[in-house]
Amino acid sequence: MSLPRRRGDPKVSFLIPAHRCPGPLLENMPRLLEFLSSEFGRGFEVILVPNPVLQDPATLSAAKRLARLDRRIRVCVTALRPGKGLALREGFGLARGRWIFTTDADMPFDLDFFRQASAMLRLGFHLVLGNRRLPESRFRMSKRVLSKIYPRFLIGLLFNLVVRLFFPIRTTDTQAGIKAMTRECADQVFRHQSCPHFSYDIEMILTAQGLGYRIVELPVVLTLRSEKSTIRILKTGLGTVHWLFLIAWRHWRGDYGRPIHG
């Protein structure tokens, strides 16, 4: 699944799935590079995954431009079908880091999460999840997005309730787009992944739990500059029903508790 590590490989591989977001990608990359440089010196790489690559030429062009400007950035061009889960899996196929970090291209979360996550990985945890519903988490938003926050909040609570009814998952936030994990954990997570879309996070947690990896959650600081419409979220949610049943079937069959090698 992943490339064999070699001497001199980076400590951190930072995977960024990018869907129709050339502007945010160009805007936020300097901030990310500055943070990673301050934390890891030269020991990191950033892997940008435009998705789907053939249907999003603007994002692909922005990613290639960034890669030309900084040799620590690479572009994965193998994600031909849409889906955030698929993009991350394809990006991991190029990763050489001992730790795997990921967040969204618009980088809505405070990057200090990764400083705390690094401490957790050093303590022996294998998967670090951001959780927007922990009491310590904080939100920053403009007035123009306030009217859309509450409906989305309710939909998120409902989805999480369904997930916890279907699966032995206790986290109150499976879908936060910020995570850190060891390479060993990531390799198993992506080998077990079948869902290319929204519900890949559920498979990630089930695999980590099933294989005995240590999981910890951290609070986040989330800045909301814009919001998806409730209608769009509902459409996305309806599209996950098929995958929830498929993942449930695989879970009840015991798939997520068996390591995959080779």
pLDDT band at 229 (very low <50, low <70, confident <90, very high): very low
Helix/strand/coil for 14 = strand
Report the CATH number that the domain containing residue 162 is assigned in CATH: 3.90.550.10
- In whole angstroms, give the CA distance from residue 40 to residue 44: 7
Helix/strand/coil for 30 = helix
Tokens of 33: 């590079």
pLDDT score for 67: 97
pLDDT score for 241: 84
pLDDT higher than threshold 50 for residue 138 = yes
Residue 182 in domain: yes
In the chain, how many domains are there? 1
Q: Domain range spanning residue 174? A: 12-257
Nearest Cα residue to 99 out of 179, 4, 204, 211:
179
* Dihedral sign for Cα atoms in the order 38, 34, 127, 12: negative
Q: Are 2 and 95 in contact (CB under 8 A)?
A: yes
- In whole angstroms, give the CA distance from residue 29 to residue 262: 35
pLDDT per position as a tens digit, 21-80: 999 999 999 999 999 999 999 999 999 999 887 888 999 999 999 999 999 999 999 877
Would you tell me how many other CB atoms lie within 10 Å of the CB of residue 35?
Answer: 18
Residue 189 in domain: yes
Residue 179 in domain: yes
pLDDT score for 79: 73
Residue 35 in domain: yes
List of residues 6+ apart from 119 with CB closer than 8 A: none
Residue 7 in domain: no
Phi and psi of 216, rounded to 5°?
Answer: -140, 150
Residue 4 in domain: no
Beta strands in 7-160 (DSSP E): 12-18, 44-50, 73-75, 99-102, 127-131, 138-141
pLDDT score for 154: 83
To the nearest whole number, what is the mean pLDDT of the chain?
A: 91
Percent of the chain with pLDDT over 70: 91
pLDDT score for 80: 79
Residue 2 in domain: no
pTM of the complete model: 0.93
Tokens of 225: 């500059």
Percent of the chain with pLDDT over 90: 74
Residue 27 in domain: yes
pLDDT higher than threshold 90 for residue 82 = no
166-192 mean pLDDT: 96
